A and B are shown apart, each in its own frame.
Chain A
Amino acid sequence: MDPDEVEFLGEKQYISIIPTFSSNVIHLISGDVGPFRPSIPIRVPFWMAMQLKQQRICKIEPPEWMEVDKLEAIKEDEKNSRTFTKMPSDHYMVEAKILLASATDDIPRADEIRTIIKDIWDVRMSKLRSSVDVLVKNNGSYAAVDNLTLMEINSIRPLLPHALDTLYRLKNSITGGSSQSQSTTTFSRSTTSFHS
C-alpha cells in the first residue's frame, strides 16, 4: 500500500480546532460538524482541519498526547517493554507528520516533539526488525502484530509477507504438499503490486 493511502485513512481521525470564523452546522456525508463560533474549540476531521488551516481561519489544538513530557514517557515505556506498547493514537505518525508540517506555529516545542516521535518510531522499528528476524528463524507460520499501527505494518509489508510466502513454498516443496505446476504458475503473480 502506498504510504499516501495510509495517510488518507489517518486523515479521517478527528482533531480539535479553534475557529476564527462563524458558521452554522456543515452537513458532511460523514456526519455533521459545527456550528463554528470564534474561539470555541470544536472537533472536525483532520482533512477538514488542514483545509481550514490553509485558509488561515482556524488554529489547531494539538492532540493531548503531543506534548514533550507525555512523549518522553511513551518513549521510556517503549524502550523498557519487550513487546510493542499501545500508542496514544492508531495513526500517531500520520498525525505528527501532518501537524508538524503544516501547523508548526500551533504546536509548542515542535522541534523537540519531532525528535522524540522520530525516536519512538526508531525504537519500534528496530524492535519490529528483530521480531521479524526471530519469526523467520523459528519458521513461524503466523504472528501477532498487536499494537502496531497501520503505518508500521505498512513499512514491513513489502518484505515480511513475501519472505513468509517463500518459506511456505520451501516447506511445501519438501513435503510435496502441492503439485509442481501450481507453484510455478502462482509464483509469477507474487511479485506484483497486489500485496505491496
Chain B
Amino acid sequence: MENLNLSDDLDLENALQDENDEDEQLTPAEVIELMEEAWLNEKFAPEILPHKFDVVECLLGQITYMEDNIQNLESKDFRKTIHQLEVDRLRFLVCSYLRTRIEKIEAYCNHIMKQESERISKGEDQYLTESEFQFLKDFIQSLDSHFEKVTSFTVVTEDWKSQPVVPNVHSFVFLKSKQEVEGVIIDDGRNDENDLVDLDKGSQLIISYNSVANLIKKGDVHLI
C-alpha cells in the first residue's frame, strides 16, 4: 500500500513512506480491487487493521465524479440506470467497509485506544484515520460518562476497566495467498515446537489469525 499515490491529500504517514517509492498511478479498476480486498480483510480479521484512507478517498472521488455526470444524462437514457447501479454497488462497498471498522472501534474501544496510544508514543503509523480516532475518543468519553451516571447511586469498583474487551486474535480465518510465503509459524495452542507451513501463490488455507496477521497487513495474503 505504501507506494500508491492516489490523491494529493495523502495523509502524512503515507506521504513520508512514498518518498522512497516511485509514484504509481492506479486505474479506477485497480482501486476497486484494493477496496474489495480491504473490505474482506476488515470483515474477517478479528482486530482492526491499518486504515486504507487513500483507497477510500480515491474511490469516493470517483463516485462523486460519476454522480455529477449522471445528473447530465437524460432520465430515459438506459445508460443512466447502468451508471447508477454501479455507483450504488461501489457505495455499498465503501459503506460496509467503514461500518465494519466503526463496529470494531465500538466493540474494542479501550483496547484500541491503548494500542493507538502506544503507536503514537512510539512514533509508528496509526491504524485509525483522524476522524476514526476522534470518534473513538468521543465514544469512550460518552461511555464513561454513561457508566458514571448509572452507577452514581452506589460505590462501584473500577475493576471492569482493568479487563477491557479484546479481540480474539486466535480466531480462525480463511485466506488466499497472493504470493509465495515460506515458513509461516502455526500457533497451535501447545507450547512445544510449532509447525511451519509454506504457502504457494494462490493457495487457500484456514489458519489462526495471529499466525498470519503480519502477512495480511503486509498484503502478501488476503482473507476470503
Chain A residues proximal to chain B, CB less than 8 Å: 1, 5, 8-9, 11, 21, 23, 26, 28-31, 47-48, 51-52, 55, 57, 141-148, 150, 153, 157, 160-162, 164-165, 167-169, 171-172, 175, 177, 181-182, 185-190, 192, 194-195
Contact B173 A26 (CB under 8 A): no
Q: What's the nearest-Cβ distance from chain B to residue A89, in Å?
A: 15
Tell me, in angstroms, the Cα distance from A188 to B104 when the chains sit together: 14
In chain A, what residue has the closest Cβ to B62? Answer: A29
Tell me, in angstroms, the Cα distance from A147 to B104 when the chains sit together: 31
* Chain B residues positioned under 8 Å from A161 (CB to CB): 171-174, 206
Contact B165 A185 (CB under 8 A): yes
In chain A, what residue has the closest Cβ to B32? Answer: A30
Contact A168 B163 (CB under 8 A): no
Contact A181 B163 (CB under 8 A): yes
Q: Is B191 an interface residue (CB 8 A)?
A: yes
Q: Is B153 an interface residue (CB 8 A)?
A: no
In chain B, what residue has the closest Cβ to A145? Answer: B204
Contact A141 B189 (CB under 8 A): yes
Contact A142 B204 (CB under 8 A): no
Q: What's the nearest-Cβ distance from chain B to residue A194, in Å?
A: 6
Tell me, in angstroms, the Cα distance from A160 to B205 when the chains sit together: 12
Tell me, in angstroms, the Cα distance from A29 to B187 when the chains sit together: 42
Binds A, one of B4-12, B15-23, B86-94, B138-146: B86-94
CB-contact partner of B188 in A30, A153, A171, A192, under 8 A: A171
Contact A145 B174 (CB under 8 A): yes
| Chain A binding surface, main DSSP class | helix
Contact A30 B29 (CB under 8 A): yes
* Chain B residues positioned under 8 Å from A55 (CB to CB): 78, 81
* Chain A residues positioned under 8 Å from B81 (CB to CB): 51, 55
Contact A185 B163 (CB under 8 A): yes
9 residue pairs, one from A and one from B, having the closest CB atoms: A141-B188, A161-B172, A171-B189, A186-B168, A142-B207, A172-B189, A168-B189, A145-B204, A164-B172
Contact B174 A153 (CB under 8 A): yes
- Given A29-B66, A142-B211, A160-B206, residue A177 in contact with residue B189 (CB < 8 A): yes
Contacting residues of chain B (87-105) with chain A, CB-CB under 8 angstroms: 87, 89-90, 92, 96, 100, 103-104
Contact B190 A189 (CB under 8 A): no
**B28, B86, B87, B195: which has the most chain A beta carbons within 10 Å?**
B86
* Chain A residues positioned under 8 Å from B173 (CB to CB): 161, 195
CB-contact partner of B204 in A5, A144, A190, under 8 A: A144
Contact A48 B85 (CB under 8 A): yes
Contact B204 A192 (CB under 8 A): no
- Given A57-B78, A146-B203, A195-B44, residue A160 in contact with residue B172 (CB < 8 A): yes
A-B contact pairs, 8 of them (CB 8 A): A26-B82, A26-B83, A55-B78, A165-B168, A168-B170, A175-B191, A181-B163, A187-B168
CB-contact partner of B46 in A5, A21, A147, A195, under 8 A: A195
Q: What's the nearest-Cβ distance from chain A to residue B162, in Å?
A: 9
CB-contact partner of B104 in A160, A186, A194, under 8 A: A194
Tell me, in angstroms, the Cα distance from A21 to B79 when the chains sit together: 12
Q: Is B36 an interface residue (CB 8 A)?
A: yes
Contact B206 A145 (CB under 8 A): yes
In chain A, what residue has the closest Cβ to B197? Answer: A142
In chain A, what residue has the closest Cβ to B85? Answer: A51
**B29, B107, B204, B206: which has the most chain A beta carbons within 10 Å?**
B206
* Chain B residues positioned under 8 Å from A165 (CB to CB): 168, 170-172
Q: What's the nearest-Cβ distance from chain B to residue A30, in Å?
A: 5
